[in-house]
Amino acid sequence: MNVKTLKSNRIASLDLLKGAIMIIMALDHVRDYFHFDAFFFDPTDPEKTNLGLYLTRWITHYCAPTFSLLAGVSAYLIGIRKSKKELSYFLLKRGIWLIFIELTVVNFSWFFDIHFQTFGLFVIWSLGISMIFLAAIIHLRLKHILIFSLLMIFGHNVLDSFHFGNDIFWSIIHEFNFIDLQSGRKLLVGYPIIPWIGVMSLGYYFGSFYDRNFSAEKRKKIFFMIGLSSIVMFLIVRFLNGYGNLNNWKSYELAIQTTFSFFNPAKYPPSISYLLMTLGPIFLILSRTENLKGKIINIISVFGKVPFFYYILHIYLIHLLALITAWITGFGWESLIIKGWVTQSPLLKGFGFNLWIVHFIWIAIVIALYPFCKKFSIYKQNNKDKAWLSYL
């Protein structure tokens, strides 16, 4: 039995997962701009957070790994209709395009600073640079791509002990950093390229499991076992508190605080424990969602069909609403012209709302964006001959 697909030959379970993750992603970004506590402490700090706030942040850990893994899966599926040379060219062009958009359109959406005093290398950059590398990696045999991916994911924490101050090259390779550039500008390296390249290439390898000649039942069983095994491995690696744990967990007097610490592995760059914690459930979800149907499923999937379009819109809308709110509440719209990262802005201490209102704003934004995403999804489906749409 083959994969259940939409009329456009899209794989329904992939659109559903991407759509769900896009919705969840918006929650974290609304929290960044609207939550009162966001300007005072990290939401995963065991000593300061609470269960509601911790879960609000924790659930969004699944976003970046899903983006990267499914981008690799999509690359393989696109490659079914292309030669390796054509696919390489497509990935190279799309990767360069994404990096350009990150440094211009996306960076402006985060900061609203026409002088571009801060450049951020965030998730769109990560996807772009990974695609550029994937353009070369796809010429390897699939088994070699799997080996490369696993070596990068499980071996990169060897680099944790190497530090070179404000070295841009090393930060881009493997270390989260805020670097001072010339003319007073700053570079925030949020997503070093290792091991994200390995996550995307792993997705490319598993894209082959969606080939029409691959049994759906076999795929679901394999994905279920991979997911379950990854979760077990996470618990073991995390419990040992050694290799693969850049953020070691600590014991506290309160069990809930110890739990907060345990389930908060390093994301920047993503440690082994972080990737096992996130990729495991992702594979479990993929193994159980191929046959899901219904109105709610269709609504969620709309966002998964136009993820990049939604991504751009949602940041601009969130930031614009925050700017208007700051102006109305007396903080001044200028306080939302960000010179670093929004939660680190001293001008915004005291701004924002409680978590309930943050969740309300999040839901309102998702609902507001739905009709735009729906119309654009239909437009894309009805205009497949327009090559430029493949870049949105």
Long-range contacts of the stretch 215-222 (C-beta < 8 A, 24+): 215/1, 216/1, 216/2, 216/3, 216/290, 217/1, 219/287, 220/287, 220/288, 220/290, 221/287
Confidence of residue 6 (pLDDT cuts 50, 70, 90): very low
The more confident residue out of 64 and 381 is: 64
- pTM of the shown model: 0.94
Please give the pLDDT value at position 268.
92
Please give the pLDDT value at position 164.
87
Bridge partners for 119 per DSSP: 187
Please give the pLDDT value at position 392.
75
Report, as an integer, the average pLDDT of 1-29.
77
At a CB cut-off of 8 Å and minimum separation 6, what does 253 contact? none
As given in the structure block, the two tokens for residue 203 are 């997705």
Q: Residues 35-83: pLDDT tens digits?
A: 999 999 999 999 999 999 999 999 999 999 999 999 999 999 999 999 9
Report, as an integer, the average pLDDT of 196-205.
98
The mean of the pLDDT values for the chain is 93
Q: Residues 141-200: pLDDT tens digits?
A: 999 999 999 999 999 999 998 888 788 999 999 999 989 887 788 999 999 999 999 999
Say whether pLDDT at 5 is over 70: no
Report, as an integer, the average pLDDT of 89-108.
97
The more confident residue out of 336 and 161 is: 336
Question: Which of 7-11, 28-32, 96-100, 302-306 has the lowest average pLDDT?
Answer: 7-11
Name the 3-class secondary structure at 135: helix
Say whether pLDDT at 254 is over 90: yes
Say whether pLDDT at 3 is over 70: no
Please give the pLDDT value at position 215.
93
Say whether pLDDT at 4 is over 90: no
Q: Are 137 and 148 in contact (CB under 8 A)?
A: yes
Nearest to 6 by CA among 100, 77, 106, 61: 77
Q: Are 63 and 351 in contact (CB under 8 A)?
A: no
Confidence of residue 16 (pLDDT cuts 50, 70, 90): very high
Residue 316: burial class (beta carbons within 10 Å; 0-12, 13-18, 19+): middle
Q: Phi and psi at residue 214, in whole multiples of 5°?
A: -95, 130
Please give the pLDDT value at position 190.
93
Please give the pLDDT value at position 390.
74
Instruction: Answer positive or negative: Cα dihedral of 193, 194, 196, 202.
Output: positive
- Report the half-sphere exposure of 2 (CA within 13 A, side-chain side): 8
Please give the pLDDT value at position 259.
98
Long-range contacts of the stretch 178-184 (C-beta < 8 A, 24+): 178/340, 181/119, 184/117
Q: Residues 113-128: pLDDT tens digits?
A: 999 999 999 999 999 9
Instruction: Please state, for a pLDDT cut of 70, what percent of the chain lies above it.
Output: 97
Please give the pLDDT value at position 70.
97
Q: Are 119 and 340 in contact (CB under 8 A)?
A: no
